[in-house]
Structure 1
Amino acid sequence: MADELHFGRAAEKLHLAQPALSTQIKLLEYDLGVALFHRTTRRVRLTAAGEAFLPEALATIARSEEAVRVARSVGETGRHILKIGGVDSATAGLLPSVVRGFRSAYPDVSLKVFEMLSGAALNMLESRSLDIAFVRKEPTESHLTSRFVLSESIIIALPAQHPKAGQEKISVSDIASEPLVIPARASRPILFDVIHSYLRSHHVEPNIRQEANERHMIIAMVASGLGVSMVPKWVSEFKRDDVVFRPFEDGGPTVDVYAVWRSDDKMQGVLDFIDHLPFVEPIE
């Protein structure tokens, strides 16, 4: 429907009657509590909520299709695949070195790594589409076991030509009036709240000028001079001549990452992988 923006064509493409499609969309909007489409007699278009929901819905569909493919692959080969997924600070910042060490120690274990938000990772863990999830908040469910693995600093990304780009560290007052480029809360609520809380604790009202969900798009916007951004430290690995990354003078805010697995999971691969994670004491 979001591709067609026309109920008749969308229904035909999905092999549904148009009233049935309209009913399904209304039920989805009811469950979400928001309208996804603006409807008039002449035009259908996505609402702001619909535009935010679309990429996450498409990603969820892609992940479910991948889960089916992996399940069929395991069924055909009889060989278990250790499925790991979670937030980007883990999949991009932590896991590369951990996976290298694990594969060296256990070359016969196949690994599949997926990037996704915390909520999706926990849902896939619950449905057994994932074996280990990396999430931003420690779960409280008794049937899940978790371990703190990472507390990552939030740093500033600045255009290389920015007046403060030559400083070794940046104060909040240096960027107090700067336009911000950050993900929408609907996409990354934990990071969004961490950034807002940190700035407001320094009596700075966030001036959000642009929203983007993908890191490469955020950095491209910064490079274009559309604003500055606050990003997890691992993003500084994106080397660009037109963007510089600087820490905050006071250390800045942090985001945590927890590894989570099912408490009743006795699969040796899960336990072996957890043993390969660095042991870090959470910061009080």
Structure 2
Amino acid sequence: MKNEVLRYVAFSADPAGGNPAGVVLDASGLDEAAMARIAADLGYSETAFVFPGQEAGPAQEAEAGEGACFEVRYFSPLIEVPFCGHATIATAVAHAQRHGAGELTFRTKAGEIRVSTEIGPDAAVMATLVSVAPRSEPVPPDVTAELLDALRWSADDLDPALPVRAAYAGAWHPVIAAADRARLARLDYDGPALSALMARHGWTTVNLVWRESPSVFHSRNPFPPGGVVEDPATGAAAAALGGYLRTEGLVDAPTKLTVYQGYDMGRPSTIRVRVPEGAATGIEVGGTGVAI
């Protein structure tokens, strides 16, 4: 149905868990003001808008070896973002439930995102995206100090084995690693200061992480520029984390990671990450999704 607004959670099979997202599978005719208004009314961290009129033709699909190709745009309650992982997973799950599982390509402002879906024996839908080429860069010491101050963290709160970096896999996220789980559990940041700093540097969320083991991470993601205190599951940040770990030589690729997020806010989410070899190779991020 044209302009129908669906509600899904991503990275959980339980509607009470995961990260809620709005999904509009046919956004034909909607302009930016309308999309922004729908996203604000929903209040979810992101809503994805799909434009079926931008599908690839049969020749292009056959050449690419993939299924349909759509333009997709993502809006938070306050801003448009170039790419959103959890809304991509939610959109792919919604599409699979209506049109069958398979391969899709989403044309986003960050680039082309390949997505695959499969339906399990229990009818649960699993979706996996492949990010654009990731990269990371150092955060200058003065900016790191300003960031820690806005988070109300100190240098002693950091894990020295995981250096502060700005990481990208479709959107930028500074990666800040906590020395212990207790530090990650305490989230009490200066909203206006953090929002202004993030806007100045083009950061979408701040990826606060704690490394439980070489392959298991716990994460929290403040998102004040989007009008959201905290994101329950951030697929874009998980992809950026995978790229960061590979770039910094902190994992041996190929490898698989699990990221747990949302537990401190009562919306448990599980994000599966696969880090392949190759510095410019996209990071795979997968999880289940379900209608609310």
Query: Is the structural similarity TM-score above 0.5?
Result: no
TM-score, length basis structure 2:
0.29
Structure with the larger helix share:
1
Structure with the larger strand share:
2
Which is higher, the Rg of structure 1 or of structure 2? Answer: 1
